[in-house]
Amino acid sequence: MSTRRKIVILGTGGTIAGLGHADGGSVGYKAAQIGVAQLLQPIAQGCLQGHFAFEVAQIAQLDSKDMDICTWQQLATACASWLEQEDVAGVVITHGTDTLEETAWFLQCVLQCSKPVVLTCAMRPATALSADGPANLRDALVCAAHGLPGVWVAAAGEVHAAQSVRKVHPYRLNAFSSGAAGPAGWVEEGRVRWGTTEAQLGGESSAVPARAWSRDAAQWPWVEIVTSTACARAEAVDALVAGGVKGLVVAGTGNGSIHEALQQALRRAVSQGVRVWRSTRCEQGQIVLADGECDPGVTPLSPVKARISLMLTLLQIQVQG
């Protein structure tokens, strides 16, 4: 009987599991075609050999642009179950790049991570001439074996914290960035070299209780993102409110400013019980309030992550009510 600790690899599909044309191109492929067990085969013998055992489970098989609440719930439930087992060192999740930052943030919000949970991905399908999936998966396994508690993203040799990571490029291999914060760490020759702020970035979060996020997906509140732009029109907000939206995240211009027409519509929305949060559409930084200014709706999160947090906040209100 083996006494080795193990790393659990959960598959959800994505480009890392994609198949393309025989010419080895990096576009025009079909995502989510290869099972996670097959993805592990080329690197299992050399990666952490003799130190860790591997266990795989296929949670979903989808293109991450189509990520849904039910898959999030299944992932969170599986992670929570595996993390409770003493012989599990960490969990790795293979995922598509398009919504990876959203899944990472959801898991950071709902899990009590006493061990590493590491998401990884690929910008090129498995059939590409220089596929990046195997190296990314290897790095994620190293990070899960020797990493810190929290939810992380391992890609292109870098490790990013769930709160700060964003996809910033549609094609290049180093498509993820943490903006001014920079990577939390780097995977180099089978070792993780952590930066100075990783402890604050990785594990800080008060987990949303399962009784909230495990509710039927149909009961999750409808929350949308509204972007403030030149020539913005109030009708967009009015239509969402008329349709039954429960929460709105406004991606404001610059330091969170909002077009006057949208502002008026948002006031009407608030008066009808819609919760409104405010973020910035800028890729880096967060809203800075003036001295004496107070706005509880301002969030440091990116609009897509703020949307997740607002959904979870409204879910908790439902449970408490």
pTM of the predicted structure, to 2 decimals: 0.95
Q: What is the pLDDT of residues 170-213, one digit of tens each?
A: 999 999 999 998 999 999 999 999 986 544 555 445 799 999 99
Q: What is the pLDDT of residues 61-76, one digit of tens each?
A: 999 999 999 999 999 9
The partner residues of 7 in beta bridges, in order of sequence, read 54, 90
Question: Which pLDDT band holds residue 235 (cuts at 50, 70, 90)?
Answer: very high
Q: What is the pLDDT of residues 8-36, one digit of tens each?
A: 999 999 999 999 987 777 888 999 999 99
Is 15 one of the catalytic residues? yes
Q: What is the pLDDT of residues 253-307, one digit of tens each?
A: 999 999 999 999 999 999 999 999 999 999 999 999 998 888 999 999 999 999 9
Q: How far is CA 149 from CA 37, 121, 204, in A?
A: 25, 20, 10
Which of 12, 15, 103, 313 is flagged as catalytic?
Answer: 15
The whole-number average pLDDT for the span 235-252 is 98
Asked whether the beta carbons of 180 and 165 are under 8 A apart, the reply is no
